[in-house]
Amino acid sequence: MGLKTDKKPRRAVSPKARPLSRAPLSTKSDDPLYLQVVHALKDEIVSGVYPVGSQLPTEEELCERFSVSRYTVREALRRLREDSLVSSRQGAGTTVVPPRPADSFVHEVMSINDLVAFATDVRFAVDTIEMIEIDDKLSVRTGLTSGEEWLAVRGFRHAEGGKLPVCWTEVYINREFAAVGRLLQRHRGPIFHLIEDLFGQSIVEVHQEIAAALISPDLAGGLKVKAGTTALEVQRTYKLATGKIAQVAINTHPASRFRHAMTMRRVKG
């Protein structure tokens, strides 16, 4: 990597402490700059420089330390999240997290901004994109009006490096924003974010419901479980400031691979 290292043994630092090294990245490495940053930070996490529960330096500090752009730092942090080494939360920085078992997926969402991280952490392998008419059965399931035309996007989500699919995803996009369908095969990240960018809209509310379900024979093979296995169906309805529904997303997770985490704090009033 070409990074300067101390000759003295390193000690695990407290959550607020940070290494003082400001060495730039190696100019001899063939790896992209963001991967060089990933390797450097991963080595420090594994060696205990940043123990579980500690925070990594801010994006600005990492830019200064490695002499790279903010875009490069963000790509590096994204890769560390994909490797389940850190978690990021808007306004709270990037924290080192404990390793979790392979093929398990912890879903911790507290804000719309966190949904961006969730969608970035997993890859959506789109299977089909088509305009459909909402029938009575789908209307009951999604809350959309029967007879309307919506763009349906379906496929499996995969965690980076995971052997098993995270879930089966169905996204129903308002016809007004159906043009995003042309970009989805090469797009990485949340679809609602793409709608905001392309159409100058703002998602202000996401209503989420989690319900128990059974995996159908049609999905069993793709999810690599037996038909009739218990599943958790997570449905989110994304609304604009006008109250109009921009999209509805339904994720069907095998129950054994999904855990929803939420932190509640007492507010003094």
pLDDT confidence of residue 133: 98
Q: Do 79 and 123 belong together in one domain?
A: no
Average pLDDT (53-67) is 92
Q: Are residues 26 and 111 in the same domain?
A: no
CA dihedral 60, 66, 67, 68 (to 10 degrees): -70
Which residues lie across from 254 on neighbouring strands?
A: 231
Residue 224 shares a structural domain with residue 209: yes
Q: Within a domain: residue 266?
A: no
- pLDDT computed for residue 263 by the predictor: 65
Pairwise CA distance, residues 160 & 80, whole Å: 11
In a domain, 95, yes or no: yes
Q: Are residues 80 and 167 in the same domain?
A: no
| 92 and 118 in a common domain | no
Query: How many separate domains does the chain show?
Result: 2
Assign 221 to helix, strand or coil. helix
pLDDT score of 55 = 92
Of 100, 87, 14, 92, nearest to 50 (Cα)?
14
**∠ Cα 228 218 152 (to 5°):** 120
pLDDT digits (tens, 9 = 90+) for 143-192: 999 999 999 999 999 887 778 998 999 999 999 999 999 999 888 778 88
> How many other CB atoms are there within 10 angstroms of residue 147's CB atom?
10
| pLDDT-based confidence at residue 114 (cuts at 50, 70, 90) | low
- Mean pLDDT, all residues of the chain: 82
Determine which helix (DSSP H) or strand (DSSP E) holds 158, and give its type and residue range.
strand 149-159
269 within some domain:
no
Single residue among 99, 118, 136 that ends a domain in this structure: 99
CB within 8 A of 131, min separation 6: which ones? 149, 150, 151, 152, 175, 178
Pick from 171, 153, 167, 157: which is nearest to 246 by CA? 171
Q: Which of 71, 99, 127 is the last residue of a domain?
A: 99
Q: Are residues 184 and 257 in the same domain?
A: yes
Q: Are residues 46 and 135 in the same domain?
A: no
More confident residue, 160 or 211: 211
Residue environment code for 218-245, b if the CB has 16+ CB neighbours within 10 A, otherwise e: ebbeebebeeebebbbbbbbbebeeeeb
Please report the pLDDT score of residue 17 as a whole number. 44
Range of the domain at 224: 105-261
* Both structure tokens of 243: 């109250």
Query: Which string of b and e fits 35-50 if b means at least 16 CB within 10 Å?
Result: bbbbbbbbebbeeebb
Predicted local distance difference test score (pLDDT) of residue 220? 96
Domain boundary among 70, 99, 128: 99
For residues 95 and 109, state if they share a domain: no
pLDDT value of position 107: 47
